[in-house]
Amino acid sequence: MGIFRRNKRDDDRVEVDDAVESDETDTEVDDVDGAGSSDDTGTERAADPTDERAADGDAADAGEDDVRQRLPRPHDLDRSEGPFDRAEIDDLGERLDLGALVLSPFAGSELRLDVDEAGQTITGVTVVSGESAVQVQAFAAPKSSGVWDDIRDEIADNLIANGGTAEEKLGTLGIELHARMPARGNDGRTTYSPVRFVGVDGPRWFLRGVLSGRAAVEDSAAEPLMTFLRQAIVVRGSEARAPRELLELTIPQELLQQAEANAQPVDDKPGSVDDLKPFERGPEITEVR
């Protein structure tokens, strides 16, 4: 089970973080929060050379109807089978307690904790299974209403404005956003990565999952990761929080001890941590659930 993977921003990749981060103009600190940020997980696909519009990066100029589809809203999700609020679960059992998130890693999966560039804050959890991955984050949200509809629109607007595409589809956890995220390849050409955004509004919290790799385009590959999301437990806490504030994640002491025991010498050259890729093996704990 992997332990740390540092978030790395790529200036040439579309940033969807702004669509889900707290707005400085928000002054309410009652029960609001909930948004997220996504990092570069997912395999890149080169643009179809037969699609002149995609190759030129002009999808946004072709009209929104060509790159975006919306479903009717609101859509209420039955959470009787998860994701759960902590108050809905009597016994955590042998689940992995990470503070704001309590998770159930599954056989053959590798779990990594994403940390910010300063290495001080855990920004999310990424689970890798085969050629697929899902990043999970939890945020506070208003007591009166959910935030997923607004966040989904903001992410889609950002992607489309930068030449990507976004389409809403109804999945097992409600309305999802299936997108193609543009990025600039090493040769200067635009490439596209399939990404699948999943969001769940809970009682004063919002859970977001970002599926990448095969899971972004194949339901069979996504199934174990969606089950993993469904089994997640969110621990919101009673504190007043700013809009869309990331809920704090912590590392269990036993995992830290195991990571230190299994640590291998690491090259100290600059950028060696940032070079870790989502589908390459990184610093790990030997036990895989």
Tell me: the pLDDT tens digits for 70-86? 776 656 778 988 899 99
H or E stretch at 65: helix 64-67
Cβ–Cβ under 8 Å, residues 289 and 9? no
Phi, psi of 96 (to 5 degrees): -90, 115
User: Per-residue pLDDT tens for 256-271?
Assistant: 776 677 665 544 443 3
**CB atoms < 10 A from the CB of 144, how many?**
9
**What length is written for the chain?**
289
- Report the relative pairing of strands 190-202 and 45-46 from DSSP bridges: antiparallel
b/e string for 189-212 if b means 16 or more Cβ within 10 A?
ebbbbbbbbbbbbbebbbbbbbbb
The answer on pLDDT for 128 being more than 90 is: yes
Tokens, residue 113: 């904790």
Distance of CA 202 to the CA centre of its chain: 17
Cβ–Cβ under 8 Å, residues 147 and 244? yes
pTM assigned to the model: 0.70
Per DSSP, what are the bridge partners of residue 2? 284
- What was the pLDDT predicted at 179? 97
**pLDDT interval class at 15 (50, 70, 90):** low
Distance of alpha carbon 96 from alpha carbon 105, whole angstroms: 8
Cβ–Cβ under 8 Å, residues 32 and 242? yes
The answer on pLDDT for 183 being more than 50 is: yes
- What was the pLDDT predicted at 57? 38
- 111-142+153-252 architecture in CATH? 2-Layer Sandwich (3.30)
Distance of alpha carbon 281 from alpha carbon 128, whole angstroms: 10
Average pLDDT over the chain, rounded to an integer: 75
Question: Above pLDDT 70, what percent of the chain?
Answer: 64
- What was the pLDDT predicted at 44? 38
- Structure-token match 């607004």, residue found: 150
The answer on pLDDT for 63 being more than 90 is: no
Cα–Cα nearest to 237, from 21, 86, 25, 35? 86
Q: Which amino acid is at 218?
A: E
